[in-house]
A and B are shown apart, each in its own frame.
Chain A
Amino acid sequence: MSLLTAERIKLLSTRSPWWCGLLAIVLPVGFTVLLATQVNPTNAPGFEFTPAATQGTASLGRAVVMVLAALAVTSEYRFGTIRSTFQAAPQRVAALLAKSAVVVVLTAVIGAVVGFGSWAVFRALHSGPDLDLVTAADWRSVAGEVLVFALTGALALGVGILVRQTAGAVAILLVYALLVEGLIGVIPKVGRDIQHWMPFFAADRFLGIRDGGDDLQNLPLGPWAYLAYFAAITVVVLGAGIFAAVRRDA
């Protein structure tokens, strides 16, 4: 409990998490507003007016949340406070789990604001019964952002612990999430099959987001299985980070 308090104070007593948090919300919700004002059934006949469609820009917020989470630990390495952290809590696993918990709670809250915020602004601009949260799938698309953002935060934290440098960690995370996963799909023949097992692809399938008109038939997993898969990858990366931090000299 004391470690959670310490980590909470640490996270919220510098400005960068606040700015990142704000950006992680404003970017996707802002883009959703832009999208909602421009799209209508006549100029975009293929656009489905469903709750899942309101979450298309959430990946922007996810990218910023990754920066936030990675910074939470790389800045400690950068400024040497990680040593004070381990001095105060020589059981490093406990200290890093407390940090993970605090980061996960914060990113989950951001996810909730992004999910419901995007949905709410879209619905405000396009009133109609199609956008109501009726089915379980509707709820999964919007409220599911809470889980996806939380896991994304934990995943990025794990990469941050492994890499220890802000520039390196952020570069790896952003290049991977924004470019690599998309480019893999371009590889002929095997590309699509590999892409079906990419972590952020999995997260998007859990949310039920359509993927630019590409056919999403014959997916290997269902939505909840995809979430479990994404969670498993997160646990492995974070676990590897914590394991490395315990073994390494601080």
Chain B
Amino acid sequence: MIEATGLTKHYGRTVAVDNLSFTVAEGRVTGFLGPNGAGKSTTMRMVLGLDRPTSGDVRIDGQHYHDLHQPLRTVGALLDAKWVHPNRSARDHLRWLAAASKIPRARVDEVLDLVGLTGVAGKRAGGFSLGMSQRLGIAAALLGDPRVLLFDEPVNGLDPEGILWIRKFMHRLADEGRTVFVSSHLLSEMALTAQDLVVIGRGKLIYQGTVEDFVEHATESTVLVRSPQLDRLRDLLRAEGSEITEITEDGDALRIGGVASAAIGELAAANNIVLHELNPQVGSLEQAFIQLTGDTVEYRTEEHRSEEHGAGEHRAGEPAGNGEVTSG
């Protein structure tokens, strides 16, 4: 378990992490989500005792990293896959790490096998592809068979096969009862990998909880309805319910929020209204993420800014190009 309380880091006048408190539970994969520059890597470095917090505190199973005895046996981390000497072989890289924590030599071959690098163990790490480097980094993280694992953007730049491999690997590690903390700036990836989420923007906590809750709260579902008797349907819906959050015209269709598609279908059937389309639409995760962290993005383009500005007025009328269509 990782517990951060009031974690703050200043670099000169820049506030990288701002009074951040969160917990990461064991036996689950917890996604650490935020736009680039939100302070994810800084937070991870503070967890590992590499950067000193300006104030606040972070503990691993109740202990500071500095107080852990042979810390690689408790915490494994992959912060950057390129942090290897390019002229050192994969095996030698793991050998010195193992030696530093009195981890038996045999474990080196074990983890090499686990990540599928046995065949290239003697080759210089500088010649590795990104996917292989990533695997070597994971092997290093697993060396001490740690209870707690940290991965910083582990799928960045990987091909789909590599992404799938890492995703499955994270699940396996969590199923073994370990604490797995994975950062990413891609919500879609985290939705598939993580069970819990810690979302930050500009160093501040935005959300902590389960992925389901986040998706539910953050995304809006609407139903797109097309019918030759739209006006009647609209009147009926208006008369029907207080739950309806929005009814907007979208060309020759209606976009209805706050009512399930089944309820609309039943209402139409009961009143003999012909429906040409009944289409539930879930707002995309990325859209939700941008909505939540929109104000907190550190680096933005002009285009981005004006887009966001207009979003409030026009969102309802926009075509559902970004939306994930779950049926139809």
Q: Which residues of A contact B (CB under 8 A)?
A: 2-3, 5-7, 9-10, 13-16, 75-76, 79-81, 83-91, 249-250
How far, in Å, is B125 (CB) from chain A's closest CB?
Answer: 9
In Å, the complex CA distance between A6 and B49 comes to: 20
In Å, the complex CA distance between A5 and B104 comes to: 13
Interface string of B66-96 (1 = CB under 8 A from A): 1010011001010110111111110010011
The answer to whether A13 touches B92 (Cβ under 8 A) is yes
The answer to whether B49 touches A79 (Cβ under 8 A) is no
Give the A-B pair count, Cβ closer than 8 A: 79
A2: chain B residues within 8 A (beta carbon): 99-102
The answer to whether A249 touches B85 (Cβ under 8 A) is no
B230: chain A residues within 8 A (beta carbon): none
The answer to whether A79 touches B100 (Cβ under 8 A) is no
Partner of B99, one of A5, A83, A249: A5
The answer to whether B51 touches A249 (Cβ under 8 A) is yes
The answer to whether A249 touches B45 (Cβ under 8 A) is yes
In Å, the complex CA distance between A250 and B86 comes to: 20
A83: chain B residues within 8 A (beta carbon): 45, 50, 79, 83
How far, in Å, is B113 (CB) from chain A's closest CB?
Answer: 20
Asked if A14 meets B45 with Cβ closer than 8 Å, knowing A6-B97, A84-B97, the reply is: no
Residue of B86, B99, B140 most packed against chain A (CB within 10 A): B99
A10: chain B residues within 8 A (beta carbon): 85, 88, 96
Closest to B48 in A: A87
Partner of A88, one of B79, B92, B95, B97: B97
Closest to A98 in B: B100
Partner of A87, one of B72, B82, B84: B72
Partner of A250, one of B50, B66, B99, B101: B50
The answer to whether B72 touches A88 (Cβ under 8 A) is yes
In Å, the complex CA distance between A7 and B82 comes to: 20
The answer to whether A80 touches B96 (Cβ under 8 A) is no
How far, in Å, is B102 (CB) from chain A's closest CB?
Answer: 5
| Residue B65 is within 8 A (CB to CB) of chain A in the complex | yes
The answer to whether B88 touches A13 (Cβ under 8 A) is yes
A85: chain B residues within 8 A (beta carbon): 100
The answer to whether A15 touches B83 (Cβ under 8 A) is no
The answer to whether A250 touches B72 (Cβ under 8 A) is no
In Å, the complex CA distance between A15 and B260 comes to: 67
How far, in Å, is A239 (CB) from chain B's closest CB?
Answer: 20
Closest to A2 in B: B102
Partner of A9, one of B79, B95, B101: B95
How far, in Å, is B157 (CB) from chain A's closest CB?
Answer: 17
User: Beyond the given A5-B99, A5-B100, could you list 15 further A-B residue pairs with CB under 8 A, ordered by the A residue number?
Assistant: A2-B100, A2-B101, A2-B102, A10-B88, A13-B88, A13-B96, A15-B87, A79-B83, A80-B80, A80-B83, A80-B84, A87-B77, A90-B49, A90-B65, A249-B51
How far, in Å, is A250 (CB) from chain B's closest CB?
Answer: 4
Asked if A90 meets B66 with Cβ closer than 8 Å, knowing A2-B99, A9-B99, the reply is: yes
In the A-B complex, the 5 residue pairs with the closest CB atoms: A80-B83, A6-B100, A88-B100, A13-B92, A9-B96
| Residue B52 is within 8 A (CB to CB) of chain A in the complex | yes
A6: chain B residues within 8 A (beta carbon): 96-97, 99-100
In Å, the complex CA distance between A249 and B17 comes to: 15
B100: chain A residues within 8 A (beta carbon): 2-3, 5-6, 85, 88-89
Closest to B96 in A: A9
Partner of B82, one of A14, A80, A89, A249: A80
Asked if A81 meets B85 with Cβ closer than 8 Å, knowing A90-B68, A249-B52, the reply is: yes
Asked if A88 meets B52 with Cβ closer than 8 Å, knowing A13-B96, A15-B87, the reply is: no
